[in-house]
Structure 1
Amino acid sequence: MPDLFAGVDGIERVLLSIAFILVAAAVSRWQSSDLERDLLIATVRSFVQLIAIGYVLELVFELDNPLFTVVILLVMTVTAGRTTASRARRTPNAQRISLFSIGAGSALTIGLLVVLGVFDFVPHDIIPIGGMVIGNSMTTATLVITRLSNDFYDQRGMIEGKLALGATSRQASLTQFQRTIRSALSPIIDTTKTVGLIKLPGAMTGMILAGASPLEAVQLQIIVMYMLVGAATFTGLIAAWLTYRQFFTPAHQLALG
């Protein structure tokens, strides 16, 4: 297995980049923001986690076993689900909703990419792509679940008024449902609209830094952007539907804990 720190230039760049953390810590101390400890923990954790995943991926790529690829994707999904659930404390069954919506949305997106022949199901393709899809799905699921749940609590009177007038639970919550979906998908849609105009996105930048042709990098970035829009849409709709069902009884009554 190759040494991740082979070459003086590589480790020097990593060490020099710590200067940004030191500057941030100095500013925090100067302004009495008390963020120095959090900065230290975040710096150490990110370093250890990235080095560890680097070695793990080297091993998985060498083995080239689909089973290990699936296991890594499952670990990513479970971690994403737990992270989302930890933020959705007002939502019943948040853990199951998070896991299912992120897992289903990600699996559907990755499955379509493989079936359509956009990517092969090999570790060096699927794991990076899967990480982007699952991470994006996690963000969308968190926005949808927390926003919709908060709306049900904050706008209880409005929803119950519609129910009292004979509306079904779906009709009574349609405004909150639609507003949540729009709010959750707006960031990825805005990013897609402005990609290449405001900044060069991650996949494209990485390929260019690695020496790839800008046109090749653009092709990959287009695929990635469209893929992330699809993943966010799938995950957002699933998460919204499952969250909505937690707050109404079969008799179309609003059920808030």
Structure 2
Amino acid sequence: MSSFALLFTLSFVVVTMALSRWQKLGLEKDIAISAVRAAVQLLAIGYVLLFVFRTEHPLLIILIIAIMITVASWNAGQRGKGLKGIHWRIALSIAITEIAMMALMIGLHIIQPTPQYIIPISGMTVGNAMIVAGLFLNQMKRELDASRGDIEALLALGATARQAIQPSLKRAVKSSMIPTIDGMKTVGLVQLPGMMTGMIVAGANPVEAVRYQILIMFSLTSAAAITSILLSLLTYMLWFTKESSLRR
């Protein structure tokens, strides 16, 4: 894509802002700021990745992935405001998920251990794990609001905190995984995913692009399960006080 053609992509932003103004949604400023941030961030990471791909230094790869995990955990942690220590628990869950995914892919020789493979796939893994973590925390809030009476009754009958909150945890884990599972059910029929589309546009063989997309879909489903289950194990006590009573 030429720079001239890239400039014309601003027309999509202008149309969105015009629709917002027409409907008096008040989103024009947010749309403009988001568009500028997205462009600057993507161009910056493009040049950074160009440098990393040329040097192929392991420490640079680890640094980039660490930054991804830090930003993702901070963003997902905003869904759990008021829960002490939620950010590092999310970071730990995402980090373990990332390590497990990369260990399997590289250990089984599914991908080559080069920055061109590791960084983009890590970005998709961490990004999906971030979304799952945010969905889990949102659902847990709703679960506790709806099931507070049941949980307190179980505690009064002598159940441990884990036993009392286990049904809510299970429902939150299932809810956080639904978008990933639904996406896998309809991929290829309802949508052509970004990675596959990008490879085809770049001139890759469509069948080869499909193979990589299958890898991504399967790995993201596994990553969603690992992240949500780990997060349920690491965070359930945060919903209780030191006296094992449910927090307000």
Quickly name the TM-score band, shorter chain normalised: over 0.9
- 1:100 shift after superposition: 1.0
Match in the other structure for 1:168: 160
After superposition, residues 140-155 of structure 1 pair within 5 angstroms as 140-155=132-147
Q: Distance in 2 between matches of 1:87 and 1:232?
A: 17
Q: CA deviation at 1:168?
A: 2.5
1:44 aligns with 2:50: no
For 1:215 and 1:86, the matched residues in 2 are separated by 40
Aligned with 1:225 (options 217, 220, 237): 217
Q: Which one-letter code corresponds to 1:194 in the other structure?
A: T
1:110-121 aligned within 5 A = 110-121=102-113
Counterparts of 2:3 and 2:159 in 1: how far apart (Å)? 64
Q: What TM-score, normalized to structure 2?
A: 0.94
Q: Percent identity?
A: 39
Moved more, 53-62 or 90-99: 90-99
Kept after mapping to 2: 8 A contact 1:69/1:123: yes
Aligned residues of 1:247 and 1:256 also touching (Cα < 8 A) = yes
Which structure 2 segments of 5+ residues have no match? Answer: none
Give the deviation of 1:124 after TM superposition: 0.6
Q: Match of 1:235, SS?
A: helix
Counterpart of 2:174? Answer: 182
Distance 1:240 1:58, change over 3 A: same
Cα distance in 1 for partners of 2:112, 2:199 equals 18
Does the 8 Å contact 1:91/1:145 carry over to 2? no
In the comparison of the two structures, how many residue pairs are matched?
248
* Gapped regions of structure 1 (runs ≥ 5): 1-8
Shift of 1:249: 6.1
Matched, 1:65 2:66: no
CA distance in 2, matches of 1:243, 1:234: 14
Question: Which residue does the alignment assign to 1:4?
Answer: none
Q: Which moved more, 1:74-83 or 1:162-171?
A: 162-171
C-alpha RMSD over aligned residues: 1.6
Deviations 1:133-171 (A, max 9, x none): 000000011111232244235432210101222323222
Structure 2 CA distance for partners of 1:31 and 1:127, relative to 1, 3 Å? same
The answer on whether the counterparts of 1:153 and 1:256 sit within 8 Å (CA) in structure 2 is no
TM-score normalised to structure 1 length:
0.91
